[in-house]
Amino acid sequence: MGYDFSIDDVAYLRSDAGRSALAFADSLALQPDTMLGDIEKLAKGYSPHQAALVETVTCRRKAVGKLRDPQRLLLTADALQQATAYPVADHRAAELAARYPGATVHDVTCSIGADLAALARTRGLGDVIGSDLDEVRLAMAQHNVPEAAVSRADALVPSSDADVFIADPARRSGGRRTFRMDDTEPPLLDVLDVYAGRPLVMKSAPGIDYTLLRERHGFTGEVQVVSLDGGVREACLWSEPAPGVTRRATVIRTGTNTTYEITDAADDSAAVDDAGIWIMDPDGAVVRAGLVRHYAKAHGLWQLDPQIAYLSGDELPVGERGWRVLEQLVYSEKQLKRRLAELDCGAVEILVRGIDADPDALRKRLKLKGSRSLAVVITRIGRRGVMFICEAGVRRT
């Protein structure tokens, strides 16, 4: 995917001539309807570098919101896609500084240096080292993170005596949806083997099978599931867990500038009961980390059914969105249609867990014509299908 940069391209882009060419390229729209003309202009002044210029500017524009200072970075489309978003990278780096003060950290799959940049700018860490097999990405990392010592090395052959290692194996291309542990480059299990006995922090896909990892492969560390602005981003494996912790959810929200965490060391004795005033759906990181009951207990909530992640309570946790229950009915599409029409509903948010229903298809079939916005939470309690007609709300403070 994307333009295939060479080492010469990177050298050019880093030169004075390349920098002014990039400034000119950035003054162009580079949109589908202007692209041919824009490339012609670039070819007149900067041939043979026009493709590298267009790709760099396009990637920088796409990187806004994901990487810090994208206007000064060198990157490829694939590397940008694989890069850790800066709020997640910053959080990890800050935790490393807290757990391993003054440590030299070696990112053994540093790519263009998104994680590396966060490590380098975090106070409290020692030297920062980056390595990768890809020469072009390394040259870009050198430009992007000049503070780091960067060199070419195979992650599977330890090449430094750093205090802590971080790794982020790439998912092999091929687009398989289910993630397998040997489907990464370098293979995740090989990285675990090679760094056994040393502090290792390894990013992996959120779909990783933790049980298999523990039971079949003997992983004894902590699995941290991280979400950013409501989307689950990664499962990060920490070889040296905090005492008593095997699972942790980290929820990062940039909009409200809040982060919270919950671990399996917390009390999980949440009750199961009838719906209270609110229903809420815990963040995906909490659900994926298997910490729904722990989260419920910590916030005075309870479960509607022990197998289902929806929680209920008389107050929402601060900053959380939920649904205020107006009515509880036995699940029936016909009855839902009739009741929403009676309630003058014109727009409905449909949430489904534990019942085989497609919210979009159902919404179309409801053919709503009213003026009110409502929400419907469809789920099961035991074997019964139930639906809650609700109004959406948020608790801000």
Ligand X SMILES: C[S@@+](CC[C@H](N)C(=O)[O-])C[C@H]1O[C@@H](n2cnc3c(N)ncnc32)[C@H](O)[C@@H]1O
Instruction: Give the footprint of ligand X on this chain (CB under 6 A).
Output: 82-84, 108-109, 111-115, 132-134, 137, 154-156, 168, 170, 185-186
Considering all CA atoms of the chain, what is the largest pairwise distance in Å, rounded to the nearest integer?
72
Closest CA to 355 of 373, 321, 327, 330: 330
Question: To the nearest whole angstrom, how small is the minimum distance from the Cβ of residue 218 to ligand X?
Answer: 22
DSSP 55-71: HHHHHHHHTBTTBSSGG
Question: To the nearest whole angstrom, how small is the minimum distance from the Cβ of residue 186 to ligand X?
Answer: 4
Toward ligand X, which CB reaches closer, 141 or 350? 141
Instruction: Tell me how far apart the alpha carbons of residues 142 and 163 are, in angstroms, rounded to a whole number.
Output: 21
Question: To the nearest whole angstrom, how small is the minimum distance from the Cβ of residue 40 to ligand X?
Answer: 33
**For 272, which DSSP code?**
B
Q: What separation, in Å, do the N-terminal and C-terminal C-alpha atoms of the chain show? A: 45
Tokens of 83: 């890069």
The Cα angle at residue 206 between residues 201 and 211, in degrees rounded to 5:
80
Question: To the nearest whole angstrom, how small is the minimum distance from the Cβ of residue 225 to ligand X?
Answer: 17
Question: To the nearest whole angstrom, how small is the minimum distance from the Cβ of residue 105 to ligand X?
Answer: 12
Q: Is the peptide bond before 48 cis (omega within 30 degrees of 0)?
A: yes
Toward ligand X, which CB reaches closer, 49 or 137? 137
Toward ligand X, which CB reaches closer, 134 or 264? 134
Toward ligand X, which CB reaches closer, 82 or 259? 82
Q: Is the peptide bond before 186 cis (omega within 30 degrees of 0)?
A: yes
Toward ligand X, which CB reaches closer, 113 or 317? 113
Phi/psi of residue 260, nearest 5 degrees: -135, 160
Q: Look at residue 266 and give its three-state secondary structure.
A: coil
Toward ligand X, which CB reaches closer, 115 or 320? 115
- In DSSP terms, 384 is beta-bridged to 381
Toward ligand X, which CB reaches closer, 50 or 76? 76
Question: To the nearest whole angstrom, how small is the minimum distance from the Cβ of residue 16 to ligand X?
Answer: 26
- Would strands 222-228 and 247-253 be described as parallel, antiparallel, or unpaired? parallel
> Could you give the count of Cα atoms lying within 13 Å of 352 in the half-sphere of its Cβ?
13
Question: To the nearest whole angstrom, how small is the minimum distance from the Cβ of residue 80 to ligand X?
Answer: 9
